Structure 1
Amino acid sequence: MASLAAGLANGAAVRHSNGSACDQLAAKFPGRTFSPSSDNYTTEAETNIWSLTCVMSPGCVFTPANANDVASAINIIRDTKSTFSVKSGGHMPVHGAQSNDGGVMISMTDINTKTLSKDKSVASIGPGNIWVDVYSWLAKNDIAVAGGRYSNVGVGGLLVSGGISYFGNKVGWSVNTITGMQVVLGNGKIVEVNEKENKDLFWALKGGSNNFGIVTRYDMKTLPQTAAYGGLEAWVGENATSVFIDAVQAFLESPEGIEDIDTEANPSITLIPGSGTWEPVLSPYVSGNYSASSPPSLVNFTSIPNPALNTLQGHDSWVNVPISVQEDNTEDANGQGQIFGCLSAKIAPGLVQLAVDTVLKPALTDLANVTDAFVAVSPEPVSTKFLTAARNSGEYAIDLGPENGPFVILLTTVTWKNSADDETVYAFMNKTLTNLEAVLTEKDLKLPFIYLGDAAPGQYPFSTYGNGNGENVARLKKVQAAYDTNGVFRNLITSGFKL
């Protein structure tokens, strides 16, 4: 595994002199190009970046209104050989994923269109939206899309990563529900991408990140959706955590849990190293009317006594679940440092406890002196139904078949307050992923898949694309060479994960 420090360095490695690009953008788009002295710049380049570790100093921020504006910007950037970045919601906590030093940040904030097809089967969505706005709009028509589980995450970043949604057991990854895209290429051309037009690019963009172009519109299949059950339930203490770990394990091993077509469990075991406080949290979503009782798929969780917080309930409108979770989530990391890292594992008895022992228990000492540190292991279930639905949707770059399921993505998250602790946290994450990989390999539990949306700097998700063995990397690079003939997205863009 590449080191975390190397990954952080690579995220900010590409630098050029960018004065001409920002000057030309300011001349052509004076109301949409912002310098470091402006409030708009501060909002886009600093306030709206999720993790403080990702705040950088671009030479200017450009906020296009539509695909034509993006194309104009790309032409300027290409001709001046300027460094640039693209930001949607700014949620990915990877240095260089959405910003850079001295270059152009293209913020997609104002490309926030939302339209429905006449039969309401397809929603066309701009990448500048955040999911709560999309959900609130769709819920008025009793429909949904397979977007992010956290309502303040941006549309664009989630959809180029793959996407884990509330509806995975029905549709697979979020990208498996995309029917078409509008994309600006490195030569400035605006193209439609779908199963009939630019089909190879369509395949690559379903999980291939921003290595090919800038997506300015996503067309997504809608799902009928009315009532749903969800919210937050949390406990405090080691005893409750032990019971919760058993509940997660039982959910993973039970077809009535992980394979339930309507359930997204979303469990997390969390720890505050400074105080030694354990806080397991459940944030589920279950489709259907559960106004009088809780869903059977969650019985192992809802039977745990004495929760410190419990907002789980049935809702007449499904959109109230993500809204309520966001309102009640006291662990919002915005404005702090944050980092993700993940590995995947086959499901076996004792797996969840193994992850806790390998990730969280060492944090009690390794991060004890890190100010306001908060560490979590989130076992993200990927069922056989999920992988079957993904495969049945058609070709896509991730290409992980049902023969690999069920399995679990073990997401590790660390948040912290002070930049003085950055190196300590980076070292912890690097050591943790190395140790977890070694333990999983030793016990023959490692499944070779790294989910891009949860990956740490220095990890290489594409090496697992194609049934976990990287067989799709060559095809991805071939598509990039065909559509990015000027090397704009190969050489000029800063990115979380390059090919």
Structure 2
Amino acid sequence: MSHLASVPSLLDFLLVEPATRAEAEALLSEFTALPEEQKSVARASLLAKIFPLVFGENALVEGSASYEENRTQPWSTNCWLSPTVILTPTSSKQISQILALVRFVGATFSVRGAGRLQNPGFTSNEGGVVIFLSKLTQLDLSGDKTTVDVGPGHRWLDVYKGLDPHGLTVAGGRIPHVGVSGLLLGGGLSFQNSEHSLGCMNVVDYEVVLADSSIVHANATENSDLFWALKGGGTNYGIVTNFRMSTIPNAIWAEGRVYPATPETSSQLLNALMAYHELIESDNKATLIWHTINQTTLLIFFYCAPVEKPDVFAPFYDIPFLMNVVPPAKRTVYEMVDAVSNILAAEQLNHDMRTTTTLPSLTVYEAAEKTRLEEMAALSDLPRADLTMVIQPMSSLAIRVAEAKGGNPLGLSSVGHQWFLVMADYADTLTAEEEARVRASVKKVVDVVEETAKKEGVWLPYKYSNYSSRDQDPLASYGEGNLGKLRGIAAKYDPEGAFQALQNGGWLVSRAGKQ
């Protein structure tokens, strides 16, 4: 950034139009002349003027057209903060210019893909800058159709829809409205975990804008340390503007069932789950999605080949269920995700998540469900507070595939295990005290799971960052060695620490391991 240390050199880099250059130069020169203690007061006013002046219609300030629409894009309403300016860049070059201006004026910034994260301050901020990647929606299939360039502004349903006519898909997200960048930078649970591993392990090249505004590629042969770090290391290294992913076949079989969450059915389902854990150690094409909410359990059976009623799901087939939300059939990934898009439609609610990881354990699962029911009863006086228990079975095969592809920072051992999640969906009209009760209930369920798992000798330290609550520490759960390596890579590609000092929130290496 030394070459952009002066106002004229910065304006040259920003390609400011002659008609507005004099005004921009005056604003920046006046700001830089202020004593440091006065800059913090003057900064918000400067941001509201300088960014629209330089970036025109791609800079939205309060009161302007589309500001409110873009401010309220995050999935969780407690993340609807009020930045001074929301930027919607159209290219990697423009992002490099934005970062140059952000650093020059010392602005707090947040990066937003689709805004699906549930933690306030991670994808927005108060009084700073939000870099919203919604216009970066490229989806370019290579000539040989083995890879596809995916823009960070996409949601997964759109990616699958675009690839569907080609008979192809990618190992991406399982929820239609989840965004590409957040999922992949956090690791990325996919339908194809056992066969192709996590979504991040299917990225073969990242285009990244670094803190110094340079645009680089990270892959197995170029910036390979950065390539490794981005596979779960989050937003510590730069802004990813393109994910080149390997394509995979699209033909699958799937079924979605809703079961009653009665004690008898819950017992049958949990015993079937234990059998399923064993079966997926020898079948790399199966994925089970388990959501228990209120008085029902939604199970999605997904098989990465067009095989009718795969044997791997046999433990569940004879358990009585209420209805098919997705009839059993051979279909494509797009057809499957589209079929559940209405079921999983995003509501305007507050959300909280909390996660932990264990080996398969019937005792742990029973303790989790018992505690969930107790906590739901404790919250029953509130107008809306739902607690969802999610169990994500992971085979050892998924970890071995990741290791064969070069590995990642997550620190997972090659054992069959499960990623556990409790999610609260609650009304945004709750008082602060009521919200604290909801979050305490979420914590109680996870605490019981961890206590039980430790007693049973089945607890694992890993925490999936995309499911972690704001007071958890997922990067530290990767292990001291991996965290140290992540910090070293961040220091190499961002030696001045701009992403640590100016970025408003997120899982930052400078904050990890200090709780």
Q: Same fold (TM over 0.5)?
A: yes
Partner of 2:482: 472
**For 2:44 and 2:208, how far apart are their aligned partners in 1?**
24
**For 2:209 and 2:78, how far apart are their aligned partners in 1?**
29
Deviates more, 1:207-216 or 1:417-426: 417-426
Structure 1 contact 249–352 (Cα < 8 Å) conserved: no
Residue 439 of structure 1: how far off its partner (Å): 2.3
SS of the residue 1:338 aligns to: strand
SS of the residue 2:205 aligns to: strand
Give the aligned CA root-mean-square deviation in angstroms. 1.8
Partner of 1:370: 382
**For 1:387 and 1:312, how far apart are their aligned partners in 2?**
31
Partner of 2:22: none
Deviates more, 1:30-39 or 1:58-67: 30-39
Residue 399 of structure 1: how far off its partner (Å): 3.5
Partner of 1:288: 305
Deviation by residue 1:211-249 (Cα, 9 ceiling, x = unmatched): 111000001111122243234534354433333233223
Partner of 1:380: 392
SS of the residue 1:463 aligns to: helix
Instruction: Choose from 335, 346, 352 the match for 1:320.
Output: 335
Letter of the structure 1 residue corresponding to residue 57 of structure 2? G
Structure 2 contact 60–66 (Cα < 8 Å) conserved: yes
Residue 303 of structure 1: how far off its partner (Å): 1.9
Letter of the structure 1 residue corresponding to residue 453 of structure 2? L
1:169 aligns with 2:181: no
The runs of 4+ residues in structure 1 deviating greater than 4 Å are none
Instruction: Choose from 289, 293, 316 the match for 1:270.
Output: 293
Partner of 1:139: 164
Partner of 2:418: 408
Instruction: Choose from 74, 84, 87 the match for 1:62.
Output: 87
Letter of the structure 2 residue corresponding to residue 24 of structure 1? I
Q: Percent identity?
A: 25
**For 2:273 and 2:309, how far apart are their aligned partners in 1?**
17
**For 2:483 and 2:338, how far apart are their aligned partners in 1?**
38
Task: Identify if the C-alpha distance between structure 1 residues 236 and 435 changes in structure 2 by more than 3 Å, giving closer, same or farther.
Answer: closer
Structure 2 contact 207–215 (Cα < 8 Å) conserved: yes
Deviation by residue 1:252-290 (Cα, 9 ceiling, x = unmatched): 2x22x465221111112222xxxxxx1111123212224
1:396 aligns with 2:408: yes
Task: Identify if the C-alpha distance between structure 1 residues 388 and 103 changes in structure 2 by more than 3 Å, giving closer, same or farther.
Answer: same
Structure 1 contact 232–325 (Cα < 8 Å) conserved: no
Q: Which has the higher contact order (CA 8 A, sep 6+)?
A: 1
Residue 347 of structure 1: how far off its partner (Å): 1.5
**For 2:284 and 2:48, how far apart are their aligned partners in 1?**
49
Structure 2 contact 424–439 (Cα < 8 Å) conserved: no
Structure 2 contact 356–462 (Cα < 8 Å) conserved: yes
Partner of 1:26: 52
SS of the residue 1:137 aligns to: helix
**For 1:438 and 1:470, how far apart are their aligned partners in 2?**
23
Structure 2 contact 206–240 (Cα < 8 Å) conserved: yes
**For 2:403 and 2:174, how far apart are their aligned partners in 1?**
22
Residue 435 of structure 1: how far off its partner (Å): 3.3
**For 2:443 and 2:342, how far apart are their aligned partners in 1?**
32
Structure 2 contact 257–322 (Cα < 8 Å) conserved: no
| Unpaired runs of at least 5, structure 2 | 1-39, 510-515
Letter of the structure 2 residue corresponding to residue 443 of structure 1? E
**For 2:392 and 2:261, how far apart are their aligned partners in 1?**
21
Letter of the structure 1 residue corresponding to residue 330 of structure 2? H
Structure 1 contact 391–400 (Cα < 8 Å) conserved: no
1:37 aligns with 2:68: no
Q: How many residues align?
A: 466
Partner of 1:7: none
Task: Identify if the C-alpha distance between structure 1 residues 232 and 84 changes in structure 2 by more than 3 Å, giving closer, same or farther.
Answer: farther
Task: Identify if the C-alpha distance between structure 1 residues 280 and 72 changes in structure 2 by more than 3 Å, giving closer, same or farther.
Answer: same
1:419 aligns with 2:430: yes
Partner of 2:152: 127
Task: Identify if the C-alpha distance between structure 1 residues 259 and 356 changes in structure 2 by more than 3 Å, giving closer, same or farther.
Answer: farther
Matches within 5 A, 1:7-22: 17-22=43-48
SS of the residue 1:186 aligns to: coil
| Unpaired runs of at least 5, structure 1 | 1-14, 272-277
**For 2:64 and 2:269, how far apart are their aligned partners in 1?**
48
Structure 1 contact 344–410 (Cα < 8 Å) conserved: yes
Deviation by residue 1:111-158 (Cα, 9 ceiling, x = unmatched): 010111111111111100111111011111111101000111100110
Task: Identify if the C-alpha distance between structure 1 residues 343 and 227 changes in structure 2 by more than 3 Å, giving closer, same or farther.
Answer: closer
Residue 443 of structure 1: how far off its partner (Å): 2.0
Matches within 5 A, 1:296-375: 296-329=311-344, 332-358=345-371, 360-375=372-387
Letter of the structure 1 residue corresponding to residue 388 of structure 2? A
Structure 2 contact 207–216 (Cα < 8 Å) conserved: yes
Deviation by residue 1:328-363 (Cα, 9 ceiling, x = unmatched): 33xx443101111110001234332122124x0331
1:484 aligns with 2:494: yes
Structure 1 contact 184–191 (Cα < 8 Å) conserved: yes
Partner of 2:449: 436
1:187 aligns with 2:212: yes
Letter of the structure 2 residue corresponding to residue 262 of structure 1? K
Partner of 1:494: 504
SS of the residue 1:357 aligns to: helix
TM-score, structure 2 normalization: 0.87
Structure 2 contact 255–324 (Cα < 8 Å) conserved: no
Letter of the structure 2 residue corresponding to residue 52 of structure 1? T
**For 1:234 and 1:441, how far apart are their aligned partners in 2?**
30
**For 2:276 and 2:367, how far apart are their aligned partners in 1?**
16
SS of the residue 1:419 aligns to: coil
Residue 25 of structure 1: how far off its partner (Å): 1.5
1:216 aligns with 2:216: no
Task: Identify if the C-alpha distance between structure 1 residues 471 and 357 changes in structure 2 by more than 3 Å, giving closer, same or farther.
Answer: farther
Partner of 1:4: none
SS of the residue 1:140 aligns to: helix
TM-score, structure 1 normalization: 0.89
Task: Identify if the C-alpha distance between structure 1 residues 259 and 209 changes in structure 2 by more than 3 Å, giving closer, same or farther.
Answer: farther
